Amino acid sequence: MRRPSLTTLRAAGALSAALALALTATGCGGDAGPKSGGELAGTTVTVAGVWTGGEQENFKKVLDAFSAKTGAKTVFVPSGDNVSTFVGSKIEGGNAPEVVLVPQVGVLRQFAEAGWLKPLSERTTTTASGNLAPVWKEYGTVDGTFYGLYFKAAHKSTVWYAPDALEQAGVGEPKSWDELLAAGRTLADSGLPAFAVAGEDGWTLTDWFENVYLSQAGPEKYDLLARHELKWTDPSVVTALTTLAEVFEDERLVAGGAAEALRTDFPGSVEKVFGPEPEAALVYEGDFVGGVARDEFGRKPGEDAAFFPFPPVGSGKAPVVSGGDAAVVLEDAKNADAGMKLLEFLATPEAAEVWAGAGGFLSPNKDVKPEAYADDTARATAASLVAAGDSVRFDMSDQAPAAFGGTKGAGEWKLLQDFLRDPSDPKRTAAALEAAAAKAYGN
């Protein structure tokens, strides 16, 4: 499942505070002032998205750059994590924003099938076709029509660590799954359990599974499973769960064991590695771990917070699982054509480089200059994401119906939490996953 915004993860009240501040400033969620003149002078483009806190502030710098070029006024409105409900209510009320940043492939498809979206302009399509790997265009396409421009991406195949912890244990960066397990046990023997696992947040467990499955089963089966054209009882799923159990069942590899992991949320897992009193040496999650380590615990990515790629499993290739936010234009918006002009800008490397320089951002755009990124770690993760090309696979749970892949206490989230608690019977878990998937997909 998609990583919720960091502010939402830290405290539910933070979103309300951010929104209240924005409303005080603009009456509509915060705005970027236009220059006088320009082709869109006198036009307002409202943009809705899940971003809050620093993510929102950095995106508003991108909107400022658009305003400076076109003369448009831009307004950002936080949608909350339930983008579908937010957008539906705005359309019903006759107050649709021009642009929405959609964090899930399944939601983008839902919007397109409901007739809410405008197809992307020829200019946006041409630009994106030149600087995005075809897989990103595929994820933004529904029934042959290109609706969603992927502007911000997440690299969800990174394992983060404190370099001094590995150095003290005499452990190097693992290059395979077996080396990862061996390194973890060596770390535990030296006094620090290997992984801080955020089992309280079911979405992190789906990411664990997806990386193992993509590497072990390959991209073709990954795609079939994501569409539920392959059953979760398939032997490839059982094999991946059996592999994942090698971590979940070993208390040397999971800090505090399953019971502690199931009480640990995502920010807490980062704190266990990079906080003032480390309780684990490694935390698996996306590139955004580096931002939390920096912003919350004063770590410097590339110095005292580093990562290595999620290693290949068995004879498979190293996986590259991604998430991302796609910009779409709503058909019913008052200034939809101006919204499309914003997407034409977002398709350019110029727009991505604004946020890249501010930090906490990766772009799937191969034309973004490496030097535009704020630090070497961001450059490395961005280069890895772009180099993966069409072998990148979007977060599987984000492609699933929410009832299966995106609901707390239900579906894949709950069943993988149950598996973390007791990983002794992968076949039983696979059968439970299949039953839940069949119900959610309606087949």
Same domain, 230 and 215: yes
pLDDT at position 33: 58
Same domain, 286 and 328: no
How much is the average pLDDT of 135-141? Answer: 96
Question: Does residue 82 form part of some domain?
Answer: yes
Which of 389, 412, 433 is the last residue in one of the domains?
389
Same domain, 23 and 107: yes
Same domain, 221 and 274: yes
pLDDT level of residue 7 (50, 70, 90 thresholds): very low
Question: Does residue 395 form part of some domain?
Answer: no
Same domain, 113 and 229: no
Same domain, 357 and 433: no
How much is the average pLDDT of 421-437? Answer: 98
Reply yes or no on whether the pLDDT at 317 is more than 60: yes
Same domain, 232 and 303: yes
Question: Does residue 336 form part of some domain?
Answer: yes
Same domain, 183 and 38: no
Tell me, what CATH number does 420's domain have? Answer: 3.40.190.10
Question: Does residue 408 form part of some domain?
Answer: yes
How much is the average pLDDT of 187-192? Answer: 95
Question: Does residue 394 form part of some domain?
Answer: no
213-270 pLDDT, tens digit each: 999 999 999 999 999 999 999 999 999 999 999 999 999 999 999 999 999 999 999 9
Q: Which residue segment(s) compose the domain that 228 sits in?
A: 158-319+400-441
Reply yes or no on whether the pLDDT at 23 is more than 50: no
Which of 369, 389, 409 is the last residue in one of the domains?
389
Question: Does residue 1 form part of some domain?
Answer: no
pLDDT level of residue 53 (50, 70, 90 thresholds): confident
pLDDT level of residue 21 (50, 70, 90 thresholds): very low
For 271, half-sphere exposure in the C-beta direction (CA atoms, 13 angstrom radius) is 9
Query: How many distinct structural domains can be found in the chain?
Result: 2
Same domain, 103 and 187: no
β-strand partners of 101: 327
Same domain, 65 and 21: yes
Question: Does residue 202 form part of some domain?
Answer: yes
Same domain, 137 and 166: no
pLDDT at position 333: 97
In percent, the amount of the chain with pLDDT more than 90 equals: 83
Which of 389, 410, 429 is the last residue in one of the domains?
389
Separation of CA 390 from chain center: 17
In percent, the amount of the chain with pLDDT more than 70 equals: 92
Same domain, 374 and 284: no
pLDDT at position 2: 46
